[in-house]
Structure 1
């Protein structure tokens, strides 16, 4: 009988398909709930929705990519409700002013324009190759990722871009963590690299955090290497 309660947060343009394998593998340990951000346009608004809709008063919380940023905001807003925290293929720094910030905005807006003119799947074919290990290109898994992207709309894409461009600095959250926390990252993640997770681990109090690199894996770790990720999360749930 499952005794843990687990809330799972998907990333940009993702849905519960990101967590399918983990929900099945962890079912003997935990009942689970996957949040959906739809067309919310702020990280704080997404976190507030998680707190409002999660069917558990206290829960373990795992977030992938943008969902990791939302997870940290949940901790900032209501640390007493989070029993454990898992952050996968994510980041913590805000978007800062300057040339790099403008370049990020321009790239995201260019992808949005493709989505609006040619459709979400066409945009996904341009964007998603950088999200997976090269071995997973032109495979059934890549088609599943494109299918997931296609289930979203340009309006939702625009809202989530807006949220990410205004993302808050999660440094204070990491520094104040008091619950068991695991950082997980594909070693070949080009979007949220392992070095960023190493920096996050250093910010967290030493007694609460640990880092796992998933070999031969890009940004979509839960889908690319589901058994490895599920194994780490199973141990985390047992702490």
Structure 2
């Protein structure tokens, strides 16, 4: 049986978001961090990810937007997914009412900033709420800004459109049969802990880990804690 760990990055993230976890998990199985390129829907991202891995058994972990990709992979290829990890993410579609319109306007306002002033300037406006306040002047925060700066407004627009049209994964949660871990920073203001508690309540085999003193970027903010959880998760799946 061939096994591969798939580490799915979130909005404007690249393999830097998984550096610590990838190093540790690669001792257990081959690791793959996909690049979504210019794909403009969650479905297209899933097609790309599934086409890029050839192992018969997948251990799938997704952070933020990557968690939504992971849920769709679990729906589309349940026989291949032996374990699932969802970090700082969500499961519902965009609200159809005023809240949804507000989300769309806020996302496109950031895109306008990226086009007018560059990705770094957009990141400086966007990212303060993504980390724990104690990390605003840290090397981790600078690493996040540099990661955003490596991307482009065109890629940002493609991923915004994918998120705005995201599918409702509520029915998927009840269908998942593989062991699942949920991970969330206790100070995550983008995908709060309460949302992960809702997800856990809808799932059969999910364990929730709350990471203290941590915002949305848990894999980078508290790498040792997150890596420990994911190593145990992967080792258990490989032994099964």
Q: Give the TM-score band, short-chain normalised.
A: over 0.9
Q: Check whether the contact 1:120–1:149 (CA below 8 A) recurs between aligned residues.
A: yes
Aligned to 1:26: 25
Q: What is the rounded CA distance, in whole Å, between the counterparts of 2:14 and 2:54 in structure 1?
A: 18
Could you tell me which runs of 5 or more consecutive residues in structure 1 were left unpaired when the two chains were aligned.
none
| 8 Å contact from structure 2 (residues 42, 162) kept in 1 | yes
Structure 1 distance, partners of 2:226, 2:161, is 29
Aligned counterpart, 1:235: 232
Name the structure 1 match of 2:178.
179
Matched, 1:222 2:219: yes
What is the CA-CA distance between 1:27 and the residue it aligns to? 2.6
CA distance in structure 1 between the partners assigned to 2:163 and 2:185 by the alignment: 21
Alpha-carbon shift at residue 57 of structure 1 (Å): 2.5
1:196-217 deviation digits (Å, cap 9, x = unpaired): 0000000101xx1100000000
- State the Cα distance separating 1:4 from its structure 2 match: 4.7
Partner in structure 2 of residue 51 of structure 1: 50
User: Is the contact made by 1:4 and 1:29 (CA closer than 8 Å) also made in structure 2?
Assistant: no
Distance in 2 (alpha carbons) for counterparts of 1:47 and 1:210: 24
| Deviations 1:30-61 (CA, angstroms, capped at 9, x unpaired) | 22000111111101110111101124232100
Alpha-carbon RMSD across the aligned residues, in angstroms, is 1.0
Corresponding position: 1:68 with 2:70: no
8 A contact 2:186–2:214 mirrored in 1: yes
Matched with 1:190 is 189
Q: Secondary structure at the match of 1:79?
A: coil
What do the CA deviations read for 1:2-50 (whole angstroms, capped 9, x no partner)?
Answer: x852000000000000000001122322220001111111011101111
SS in 2 for 1:115: helix
Structural mapping, 1:100-111, within 5 Å? 100-111=99-110
C-alpha distance in 2 between matches for 1:95 and 1:26: 33
What SS is found at the alignment partner of 1:238?
helix
After TM superposition, the score normalised by the length of structure 1 is 0.96
In structure 2, the residue matched to 1:155 is 154
Q: In 2, distance between residues paired with 1:136 and 1:56?
A: 38
